Structure 1
C-alpha cells in the first residue's frame, strides 16, 4: 500500500435522499363505528362520572384529589391526550398543569418547618383548590396493576387506572378503575359458540374486564339453547375502601354464583373442571395458563379479527421441567416484579425462609420490568423465582429466550419438597400459596450450625433434566462464617484468585467460586491465550460511501 487510504469521501447533497415520515393511523377497533371521536371516548370511559368523582370534597370542604395520575396501558395510550383535555376543561386545574412535566423540588421537599420562611407559601399551596393531572406514560411493572411507584413520583393522591385490571388489593393509594365499554360483535360470538359447542356441552363464557359488561346479554341469548351454559362477571366484592370502579354495571341478584380468581361465575351446575371455557379476547400468558389448568378445554375469540385463536398456548409440561431444575438449583434469584400488591412482603419472607431451610442460597433482585438482557447479567443464578401479579406479572418463557428458567413461588414450593410431587395445578395467588402451601420453613431459632447438621450427610442429588448427579444443590449444608483476610503486599486480584481456585473455602461451598471456574471468557485477549502468534497482517480496508458497500 503506497499511500494511506482516504478516511472520507467528498459527497454531494443530491447523493442523500430522505423519505418523509408517514403519519401512522391509529386503529381504535374497540370503539366500533363513530362520527365524533371525542364524544365516543367520553362515552367509552364514562368520563362524566369520573369527573364527578374527582370533584368530591372532604368534610372540611377541600378537594379529596389534588394530584391526579392517569394510568393507561400501551393499547390505550393514544386516547390519553383526549381524556386529559376533557378532564382539564372540567376540573379545577392549575394553569400550567398541561405543560409541567414534574413537580418542583420545593413542592415535594419542603415540609413547612416552624422556623422556615417558606411555611406560609407552602401551606397556601397545600390548601389551594387546584388540581394537577399527570399521565403515567409507562408502568413500572404490570399494566393491569396500580402503579404506585410512578404515581408516588408526583405525590399522587389517586390513580385512575384505564383498561383491563386485575383488581388486586393495594395498600397505600386510592384507586379508581375505568374499564371502558368496548364495542363487541355479539352476532359473531354467538355464531362461533354454536359452531364449536353441542347443546348439552357445559360451557363458561368469560372475557377480560372491559368486555365483561357484554357477557350477560350474550348469556341470555344462548341460554335457551344451551341449558348448561354459565358466564363469568367481574367480582365487584373485591373492592376495598380505597378502590372504586367507574361505570360499574348491575349484576343479577337472583342467580347463585361462586368466586373464581377475580371473577364470579353465574349458572354453574357442576365442577369447573368439567366445563369448557370460551374466552373473549386473548388473555396474557400467565392468565391463560391459569385458566387452562382449571377448565377441560379453552377456546379464545379475538375481538379484533372476529375469529378464534388457535395458539400456541403456554405449556404446563414446561413448568414441570422447570420445577425439576429448581430441585437441584444451588443459587435461587428472587425476582420482585411488583411493589404495590398486598402480601408481597409476607410472600417474600416465606420464600426466603423456605430456601434457607432447604440449604440453598438466594439473592433478591428488583430490576423493574424483567427482560432477557437484564437477567443475563447474573450468571451465578441457577433459577429465578418471580413474585408478580398472576394476571400479567409473571414471565412465561414460551420460546426459551431466557438463559435460566423462571418459576413461581408455588412451583418453588414443590421443588423444595424432599420427594417429587406434581399436582397439575398452577397457583399464582399469594395468600393461597401462603395459607395452603406446604413450605418447609424450618425453625425461627435455627442457627447456621443447625442447618449444617440437618444437611450434613446429604448425598449428591440426581438431576432429572441433565441425567447427572449434582453436588451443589445445597451449598449451605456446609455453611460457616467466612473469615477471609486479604494478605498484605498482594495485588487487588489476589482475593479473586483465591476464590476462583477453590470451590470450598474453610469448609464452605462457594457458588461464586464455582461460577468463576466455569467461565470460559476471563477478559480481553483470553480468546488468544492458547495461540503462539499474536496479531494479524495489515490489509487495506474499504473506502467510499458506506451505503454503497457490497456484501
Structure 2
C-alpha cells in the first residue's frame, strides 16, 4: 500500500487548507515515526504553501492513543493530525484530524468466518472492528450481501448489524462542565453529537471507542453476539469488559483465525472486583492525572475529590506522566490510587505496585454508600455523571467490605446523630488521616516513626530523603569505584608521573 493512500495525504491537506491552519502538529506513535519525514515531504508537496508550518511530535506524555494537546501547544499549533491507533477521546482545546491507517486484511477470510458465526448463532450478530480496519468494512459488507442470500435459504432469521466510525474530524469540546458533549465530524462533513459510552443512550444508541451504532427496540447488547475484527489490543479489552454479558468472538486479520476463549479477560474482571473491595478499606487516596487533553478530565478529578471527601477520606492529586511502581513508591502513605485516563489506558496491571490502581468507575463503587457491583463495567470516565448529593439518613446502607469482614463506617456513631458542619467534617478528615498514618507507622514495611498529619509531614519523618546535604557547603561523598579526575589525566596518573 503506497504512502499517499495509507496516510491519506490528499484528505489531510484538504483539512488543513479548509481550516486555514498555519501551524500543524503531526502526532505519530513510535511504530510509525520511521515514515514521518516522508509524510511531511508528501504533505509539503500537496499543500504547496511554505507559510504552513508542519511539526512532528513523537514521545507523548501519556498514551499515544489520545491527542497530545500539551505537546502541540509547545509549538503553538492550531490543530493536530493524529496518526495510527486512537481512542477518539474528545479534545478540549484543539481541532484534530484522525488518520487511522489501513491495516492489511483478507476480506474473503473475514467474510467466511463471519458467515460461519451467522449460520451457527441463534442471536443477532453485531460486527465491531478496530479503526485501522475501517477502510475494508465496505468491502466486507458487499461480500456479506452475497453470502446472506445463500445463508437465508437454510436459515431465514439471520440478523446482522455493522457499526459506523464516529468521526474522522473532531472539534474541541466548548463546555468542560458538560463532558458528554462532543464535536465530531465525519468525512462527509456531517456532525455526530454522541456521548461516549458503553451503554444505551437516547433509546438504543451506543458509542464506544470511536464506534457508534443503533439497535432496534427490544434488542439489547446482551442479546447480540459481538464479532470483533482486529487484534487483541486495549480497544478490544474495552469491548470485552464493557459488554461482558455478551458472547464475543474475534477474527484476527494477522493470523486469519477466529478466537472465542477469553478466560484471561474474565480473570481480569474478577481481579478488578477484588480491587474494589480492597479500596473500601483505604483511608488516603491518590488521584493520578493520566491525561491533560481529554475533555472533562478536570470535571472528573473534581468529582473524585468530592466523592472521597464525602466518604470521610483524604485525597492527593498527582501529575507524573505514565505511572510506574518506582514513581508511586514515593507516596507510601496512599492506600490506593485512582487513575483518571482515557478508556484504553485506564487499566493498569498494578500487581507490582505497592498500592492498587483503580479506575474512576471502580472508585465510585468503592466509596459510594450503598453501591453494589451488578456486573456492569465502564472504562470511559466521561460516562460517570456526577451523582446527586448522598443522603446521610440512617436508612442508607453501610459499605460492606469482604476484605475487612464487616461493614465499613465512614464516621463515628456520634456524627450520625446530628448534622455535620463544615468545620466538624474537616476535623473528622484530619482525625481519619491521622489514624491512618498511625496505623502505617506500626507497619513493619514502613520506616516512619511517630504520628504524621499530612503527606508533607509523613515525608519529613522518613529515615531516608534521597541525597541528603550534610551542610550548606558540603555535598555527599560518593563511593568511588575506578578512576577519578579528567580523562586527559586521571588523579592516579598524575601521582605516578610525580613518582617517576
TM-score normalised to the size of structure 2?
A: 0.69
Superposition pairs for residues 211-360 of structure 1, below 5 Å? 211-220=133-142, 221=144, 222-224=147-149, 225=151, 227-236=158-167, 239-240=170-171, 258-261=205-208, 262-265=210-213, 270-282=219-231, 284-285=233-234, 288-294=237-243, 295-309=245-259, 310-311=261-262, 312-313=264-265, 315-360=268-313
Q: Is the 8 A contact 1:159 1:175 kept in 2?
A: yes
Give the match for residue 31 of structure 2: 75
Give the match for residue 52 of structure 1: 14
- The 3 A distance-change label for structure 1 pair 394 and 416 is same
Q: Deviations over 1:175-202 (max 9, x none)?
A: 1112233332111112223444515332
Distance 1:469 1:166 in 2: 39
Deviation at 1:440, TM superposition (A): 4.2
Q: Is the 8 A contact 1:329 1:473 kept in 2?
A: no
Distance 1:514 1:464 in 2: 29
Q: Is the 8 A contact 1:200 1:228 kept in 2?
A: no
Give the match for residue 4 of structure 2: 42
Q: Does 2:417 correspond to 1:464?
A: no
Distance 2:306 2:359 in 1: 16
Q: Deviations over 1:233-254 (max 9, x none)?
A: 1123994478776866999xxx
Distance 1:478 1:50 in 2: 56
Deviation at 1:70, TM superposition (A): 0.7
Give the match for residue 416 of structure 1: 367
Give the match for residue 325 of structure 2: 372
Deviation at 1:375, TM superposition (A): 2.0
Q: Is the 8 A contact 2:94 2:172 kept in 1?
A: no
2:280 counterpart SS class: helix
Q: Is the 8 A contact 1:46 1:246 kept in 2?
A: no
1:182 counterpart SS class: coil
Distance 2:409 2:464 in 1: 25
Deviation at 1:363, TM superposition (A): 0.7
Deviation at 1:139, TM superposition (A): 1.7
1:317 counterpart SS class: helix
Deviation at 1:502, TM superposition (A): 3.6
Give the match for residue 174 of structure 1: 95
2:163 counterpart SS class: strand
2:205 counterpart SS class: strand
1:313 counterpart SS class: helix
Superposition pairs for residues 153-168 of structure 1, below 5 Å? 153-168=74-89
Distance 2:226 2:77 in 1: 39
Give the match for residue 385 of structure 2: 434
- Of the three residues 472, 478, 492, the one matched with 2:428 is 478
2:379 counterpart SS class: coil
Distance 1:323 1:467 in 2: 14
Give the match for residue 346 of structure 2: 394
Mark the runs of 5 or more structure 2 residues left unpaired by the alignment. Answer: 153-157, 174-182, 192-202, 413-424, 433-446, 467-500
Q: Relative to structure 2, which stretch is displaced further, 380-389 or 417-426?
A: 417-426
Superposition pairs for residues 460-539 of structure 1, below 5 Å? 463-465=401-403, 478-479=428-429, 500-503=448-451
Give the match for residue 42 of structure 2: 86
Deviation at 1:462, TM superposition (A): 7.4
Q: Is the 8 A contact 2:281 2:401 kept in 1?
A: yes
Give the match for residue 179 of structure 2: none
2:89 counterpart SS class: coil
2:377 counterpart SS class: coil
- The 3 A distance-change label for structure 1 pair 283 and 142 is farther
- The 3 A distance-change label for structure 1 pair 510 and 53 is closer
TM-score normalised to the size of structure 1?
A: 0.63
Deviation at 1:307, TM superposition (A): 2.1
Distance 2:106 2:53 in 1: 38
Q: Is the 8 A contact 2:168 2:185 kept in 1?
A: no
Mark the runs of 5 or more structure 1 residues left unpaired by the alignment. Answer: 1-30, 32-39, 58-63, 95-129, 443-453, 483-498, 525-551
Distance 2:169 2:148 in 1: 27
Q: Deviations over 1:147-192 (max 9, x none)?
A: 1011111111111011232222222112111223333211111222
Give the match for residue 23 of structure 1: none
Q: Is the 8 A contact 1:206 1:278 kept in 2?
A: yes
Deviation at 1:387, TM superposition (A): 0.7
Q: Is the 8 A contact 1:148 1:173 kept in 2?
A: yes
- The 3 A distance-change label for structure 1 pair 368 and 240 is same
Give the match for residue 354 of structure 2: 403
- The 3 A distance-change label for structure 1 pair 178 and 343 is same
Report how many aligned residue pairs link the two structures: 402
Q: Is the 8 A contact 1:171 1:341 kept in 2?
A: yes
Q: Please, what is the CA RMSD of the aligned residues?
A: 4.0
- The 3 A distance-change label for structure 1 pair 318 and 480 is closer
